[in-house]
Amino acid sequence: MESDNYNDPAVMGGCSVPVRVNRKSKPDPTIVDVNGIRFGSKEVVIIAGPCSVENHEQLMETAKAVKSAGGMILRGGAFKPRSSPYNFQGLGEEGLKLLREARMKTGLPIVTEVMDTRMVELISGYTDILQIGSRNMQNYPLLKEVGMLRKPVLLKRGMMATIEEFLLAAEYILNQGNEQVILCERGIRTFETTTRNTLDLSAVPMLKHLSHLPVIIDPSHGTGHRWMVPPMAKAAVAAGADGLIMEVHYKPEEALCDGHQSLSPDEFTRLMIDLKKIAQAVGRDIC
């Protein structure tokens, strides 16, 4: 352990916190601004959209539904890491072009995943936020590469990563000069099998206690069940999350990826109504 780069673990709740992400080094919250949408402010930011960009109709119809219900940022995978090499891997650059078109038509900024250092330049030319998925949380060359950009990065917690390891991954990005990092808790792998992952809502107050970076929650991957997304999304807002990233598909039953955990437009609309009430109750806003 490189003790010179850490604060006393006993002071920070048993977790050694690297310098740049440490709230002691920067007591005020970091605000990550994406086209006027502010992560880490009073506003709870809602990101929604399909797991994967499948075709023109699917993306445009879903984007319109997200916009209509009050979603603020559109998510969609153009390059998809899948456990099986035989599953749908995304449309590649064609998917990026469709995301750009959806942004032009709806005005929604977009977030999409980058998986490889060779793809950073291409994807950063299309997207407003670069997502580092859970499988790549400890891909240190990739973290350094996005750290050299001055573009917001959404960093997802690794499926078996501790809070300390998560913060160290963020430190790699900040070390390169990019402080526009959004932390995303998306569930960790435990012995439990009834859910896709175990959504660690305690990570929200802990990360906000240890770090100045904004924290969002992914209840879709965190549970793997469409019916569980609304209650966990509401709980995340109540716990102090700065935002949510959720999967929405205009026809979940036809989705090529993660349809079982994707909300329909109607379900998303109803959830947005409830989330605004929860946000108001804890002194936050969802515009």
d(CA 3, CA 209): 20
The predicted structure's pLDDT at residue 14: 60
* β-sheet bridge partners, residue 77: 52
Nearest to 103 by CA among 32, 34, 184: 34
The CATH architecture that domain 13-280 belongs to is: Alpha-Beta Barrel (3.20)
Single pTM value for the model: 0.93
Q: Helices 265-281 and 229-238 sit at what angle, rounded to 10 degrees? A: 20
Q: What are the Cα distances from residue 139, in Å, to 39, 136, 170, 262?
A: 24, 5, 11, 27
The predicted structure's pLDDT at residue 8: 44
Rg of the chain in Å (alpha carbons): 18
The predicted structure's pLDDT at residue 282: 97
CA 159 to chain centre: 14
The predicted structure's pLDDT at residue 4: 42
Q: What is the mean pLDDT of each run of 10 residues along the chain (287 residues)?
A: 42 70 94 97 97 96 98 93 72 94 98 95 96 97 96 97 97 97 97 96 97 98 97 98 98 93 98 98 93
Backbone angles phi, psi at 197, to 5 degrees: -140, 175
β-bridge pairing 45-49 and 73-75: parallel
d(CA 202, CA 220): 17
The predicted structure's pLDDT at residue 7: 47
d(CA 285, CA 287): 6
β-bridge pairing 181-185 and 45-49: unpaired
Positive or negative torsion for Cα 35, 74, 99, 67:
negative
Q: Helices 93-106 and 56-69 sit at what angle, rounded to 10 degrees? A: 40
Q: Which residues contact 239 (CB under 8 A, 6 or more apart)?
A: 201, 204, 205
The predicted structure's pLDDT at residue 18: 83
E strands, the chain, are: 32-34, 37-39, 45-49, 73-75, 110-113, 129-132, 153-156, 181-185, 215-217, 243-247
Q: What ranges do the domains of the chain cover?
A: 13-280
